[in-house]
Amino acid sequence: MTKQYLDATDVAKALDLSKVRVYQLAIEGRLPCIRRGRRVLFPRVAWERWLERQAEQAMAAAER
């Protein structure tokens, strides 16, 4: 079964970043996340959409 929410460790591994940087990006509003009490979670659906947008933007920039 696929997890509905990713945690900062999952996101950090996927982006090859530190957990601290993932939390910074989440606080800045640059990564889609929600708070559950003290936890910061990344909804899988929102995360996948965000990744698609990032890839589209990178490809558009490369075409220029």
Q: What is the pLDDT of residues 30-49, one digit of tens each?
A: 999 999 999 999 999 999 99
What per-residue confidence (pLDDT) applies to 1?
A: 73
Total domains, the chain: 1
The runs of H, that is alpha helices, within 1-64 are 8-15, 19-27, 44-63
Residue given tokens 């970043």 in the structure block: 17
Structural domain boundaries enclosing 55 = 5-63
Task: Return the percentage of the chain with pLDDT > 70, whole number.
Answer: 100
Would strands 5-6 and 39-43 be described as parallel, antiparallel, or unpaired? Answer: antiparallel
- Is the pLDDT at 29 greater than 90? The verdict is yes
pLDDT of amino acid 43 = 96
